[in-house]
Amino acid sequence: MEIDWRRDIDMVLGDARVQGRPVLLDFSAAPM
Amino acid sequence: MYPDERVASFISENFIPARVHVREQAEDFQRLGERYGAQWTPTTLMLDSDGKEQHRVEGFLEADDFLAQLRLGLGKIEFNAKRWQDAERAFQGVVASHPETDAAAEALYWAGVSRYKATGDAGALSQTTAAFATRYQDSAWAKKASVWKA
């Protein structure tokens, strides 16, 4: 399973509020 | 950390996963890095549904340690929402599932606090002190719990 990382952080924060779900926010330098 | 199947599954099941890349999203990295105080990679934040940071991991961890930190973060989210029983369950899950990790000692501490908050029974705290007599004796969390000794 691969993680479906989202990049639209501001949208993620809005979705989290609506869905009542926590967010894992990863600051990364890993190869894309 | 992330290629591990257990880590990937746990994240997908329990969080909305979001990534900011230091080079490919340089503007976002600067803006969000300042907002959340993240100036180094990897830095992993666990935010509650209101976007408030509840736990962070800075630097690389092996999969088992990282999983334990993720569970610990969920416990803190429950704790800070005053869902004491859910918090205790999450913290106990760290101790049970990842007993050899650094997170386990912290989770044992917060499990005791959660039980106390749920019940008002100070015995929950002294029992936690007693539990530290048999494991994680050298941890900072054992020292913190020592004040509750019956």
**CATH number for the domain that contains residue B119:** 1.25.40.10
Tell me whether residues B45 and A25 touch, CB distance under 8 A: yes
Q: Specify the number of domains making up chain B.
A: 1
Encode pLDDT of B95-147 as tens digits. Answer: 999 999 999 999 999 999 999 999 999 999 999 999 999 999 999 999 999 99
**Looking at residue A32, what is its pLDDT?**
67
Enclosing domain of residue B63: 5-148
A4 CB within 8 Å of a chain B CB: yes
Q: What are phi and psi of B128, to 5 degrees?
A: -70, -45
Min Cα distance B85 → chain A (Å) is 18
Q: Which two tokens stand for residue B93?
A: 């899950």
Tell me whether residues B20 and A17 touch, CB distance under 8 A: no
ipTM: 0.95
DSSP letter at A6?
B
For the cut 90, the answer to whether the pLDDT of residue B45 exceeds it is yes
Q: How far is CA A9 from CA A27, B50, B62, in A?
A: 11, 13, 26
Alpha helices, DSSP H, located in B1-150: 5-14, 26-36, 63-80, 84-97, 102-119, 123-132, 140-145
Min Cα distance B136 → chain A (Å) is 28
| CA B57 to chain CA mean position, Å | 9
Counting as low any pLDDT under 70, the low residues of chain A are 32
pTM: 0.95
d(CA B49, CA A6): 16
Encode pLDDT of B52-81 as tens digits. Answer: 999 999 999 999 999 999 999 999 999 999
Please choose, from the candidates B6, B25, B3, B24, the residue with its C-alpha nearest in 3D space to the C-alpha of residue B14: B6
